[in-house]
Amino acid sequence: MCGSIRQHRHFGASDVREGHDILPMYERISRIRKEVNSNCPRCGSDKETLIHAMRDCPNARAVLVHGGLNNKVLEGTYSRCVDWLEDVARMLDRKALSDLITVLWNIWNSRNNKVFHDKEDGAMVTWDSAAALSRDFRIFNFLERPLIPKLGREHGCRKPDPGTVKINFDASMNGGKTCFGIVVRDHEGFVLGGRAGVMEKKVQAECTELHALEESINFAQNRNWTKLIFELDCVGLINWLNKTKIDCSTMGHHIKDIINKLKQCCNFRFSFVWTPRGSNIVADSLCNWANVQNCYTDFDMDYPSKIHDFILSDAII
């Protein structure tokens, strides 16, 4: 998804109002009518701006988190909703962005139910309503030519050589916790196992993926895999991993220690490959699952049903 969200003509009128912050929020109304309280009618903890109502209010955030929205989409501080949506549009593909707009529309409806009827649906109900609407829309328009051409699935890497194990990993922060997900496949794409967990440590954003890499190495070392390909969608970490000889920063030294450990257990038979986010779905889903379950668990080929669903949906896309 590229370009400014202000220029996308396929959004509806309500979406345009949302992007330009002209929906009737209490913060805006209070400037005109002094007797109106500017605080959020749902949480009451902050002024009700559009970005607060759609993303930062605990009620809205609960809906987004319930749907497994990647924490990277929820990070950052924004004064205007349109700035957040533009950044989101640079991270999500068109289908995902369309789904997010549908969710935001349902969050807005839930907010209005609270304001006008003093009734608000729970996060699960709001999310399920958005999911049903999005699904029904696609069913009823299945035979029509799409307004926006469907994007093919991105494949960021080639199939590894026989005997090579491929490890995909992802990580995110949630408050004072670091969450990660790891999935391991053989050269035919068969899942050998993985790990998902939550660590009670708060680190810098750029360090979260590094902790997931360490977990991946430990996981491989415990199973005596020695020919490895690590796939990740973090360009920054890929750059760090490829310039360890010239990076003298604290992060650089940390990475050198990790690389040295990897060399010892793999005898130099490893590589790091960037992959687009669309090819890292399972690791990202495991990361979100660990966050919700607040767990730390390993699995092998006989993985739990929830994890099975992630892997199956990834395989049939």
Domain ranges of the chain: 5-140, 165-316
Query: In the chain, pLDDT over 70 holds for what percent of residues?
Result: 76
Query: In the chain, pLDDT over 90 holds for what percent of residues?
Result: 9
- Note the pLDDT of residue 271: 84
Residue 21 pLDDT > 60, yes or no? no
pLDDT level of residue 232 (50, 70, 90 thresholds): confident
Instruction: Put residue 295 in one of left, alpha, beta given phi > 0 → left and psi -120 to 50 → alpha.
Output: beta
Whole-number Å distance between alpha carbons of 187 and 226? 14
Residue 61 main-chain phi, psi, to 5 deg: -65, -35
Alpha helices in the chain (DSSP H): 13-19, 26-32, 50-51, 58-66, 71-74, 81-91, 94-117, 123-140, 205-222, 235-241, 250-266, 281-293, 305-316
Give the architecture (CATH level 2) of 165-316.
Answer: 2-Layer Sandwich (3.30)
pLDDT level of residue 12 (50, 70, 90 thresholds): very low
Paired strand residues for 271? 229
Looking at residue 80, the DSSP 8-state letter turns out to be: S
pLDDT level of residue 204 (50, 70, 90 thresholds): low
Whole-number Å distance between alpha carbons of 142 and 122? 30
* Least confident span in 104-118, 191-205, 240-254: 240-254
- Note the pLDDT of residue 14: 44
User: How are strands ordered across the β-sheet holding 228-232?
Assistant: 270-274, 228-232, 165-174, 177-185, 191-199, 296-299
| Token couple for 193 | 């196992």
Whole-number Å distance between alpha carbons of 251 and 255? 6
Whole-number Å distance between alpha carbons of 40 and 84? 19
Look over the chain and give the mean of its residue pLDDT values, rounded to a whole number.
76
- Note the pLDDT of residue 182: 92
- Note the pLDDT of residue 152: 47
Residue 183 pLDDT > 80, yes or no? yes
- Cβ neighbours around 122 below 10 Å, total: 13
Whole-number Å distance between alpha carbons of 3 and 16? 15
- Note the pLDDT of residue 166: 92
Which residue in this structure is represented by tokens 């890499």? 213
* Least confident span in 83-87, 175-179, 243-247, 302-306: 243-247
Per-residue pLDDT tens digits for 46-105 = 999 999 999 999 999 888 888 777 677 788 888 888 888 888 888 777 777 778 888 898
Mean pLDDT on 131-135 = 73
Mean pLDDT on 270-292 = 83
Which residue in this structure is represented by tokens 């605080």? 39
Burial (CB count within 10 angstroms: exposed 0-12, middle 13-18, buried 19+), residue 265: middle
Q: Are strands 228-232 and 270-274 parallel, antiparallel or unpaired?
A: parallel
pTM of the entire structure?
0.49
